[in-house]
Amino acid sequence: MEISRAFFIIMILLFVLRGTNTLSDDLLFLDYYKETCPLAEEIVRRNVENAVLKDPRMAASLLRLHFHDCFVMGCDGSVLLDSYGEMVSEKLAVPNFNSLRGFQVIDKIKYNLEEACPYTVSCADILALAARDSVVLRGGPTWGVPLGRRDSLKASFDGANLYIPSPNSSLEILIENFKVQGLDIRDLVTLSGSHTMGRARCLSFRQRIYDITMEERYDKYERYRTFRRILETICPESGNDNQLTPLDYTTPTRFDNHYYINLLQGRGLLFSDNTFVTQDHEGEIIKQVWAYAADQDLFFAKYVNSIIKMGNINVLTGHEGEIRKNCRFINT
């Protein structure tokens, strides 16, 4: 009797904890669709390859979709939902509006999967697989993606505005954003390496140009000023908000460790990226930046660990949520 009661209490506690934003490593596993949809990963990979071949920037966009999904309620495909009834789409939130892209690619992948295996592969798993394939296609590491996520029945417009880090965030705020998701400082620095590919709008990096830090004000060797002058020609103090520029000027379409080299050379594009160098008063983060800049294999190995960890945030499994037929709408 006492054992049964204790078991019941433990199950209640687990249920309560399930509602918090925690990592759930033991709920997902490799080859989840081996029996139910054996071609699932191949279908995703083929579609991502075609999309990136047509538009190389799409690799970064699909990777970013996975990130923005996981940071709002967990990795549950909520970012893909369109507004419906009283539910406001996360796509309309400030960090996503006129910024996130790749939804049509996900739509096509889902259509092909529904043709092959109806109501089997979740939209959340599609995002995780597409992110991995995008990194690999641009020269980055590969990894086995733990699968078995289910899709959310709702979106969180307010959550998207609150939890997705801003490109103008201070280091302190970035650390707190990641901590809320169960990710530590090392994960923050490692996952920020995703900015080694893709492009950003002028609106996202204007503050980096015109809010001059103390390090830049007394920049004896003009490491910061030279790059800032280049950016000023692209992004004036007002207007030209949607003008795009590479996050990594050196190898803009490659997934490599040049992001960290750029930071050390004063060529980080976003204000938030540069905080790893300008606001790290303890000196521990800069050590990690130096380590990744010096050793790409080390960065790749740590990146795999961190992105798998991120992909396990607050996942829905079992009978939770659903497997959407259309990633833009809940099933009716």
Query: What residues act catalytically?
Result: 68
Tell me the three state secondary structure of residue 148.
coil
Task: Give the number of other Cβ atoms within 10 Å of residue 149's Cβ.
Answer: 32
CA distance linking residue 233 with residue 260, whole number of Å = 24
What does DSSP assign to residue 97?
T
Whether 69 contacts 76, CB under 8 Å: yes
Residues with Cβ within 8 Å of residue 79, at least 6 apart in sequence = 65, 68, 69, 72, 90, 91, 96, 100, 127, 155, 160
Q: Is 144 left (phi over 0), alpha (psi -120 to 50) or beta?
A: beta
Amino acid at site 151? D
Count of CA atoms in the C-beta half-sphere (13 A) of 232: 10
Residues with Cβ within 8 Å of residue 268, at least 6 apart in sequence = 208, 259, 262, 274, 276, 277
Whether 265 contacts 223, CB under 8 Å: yes
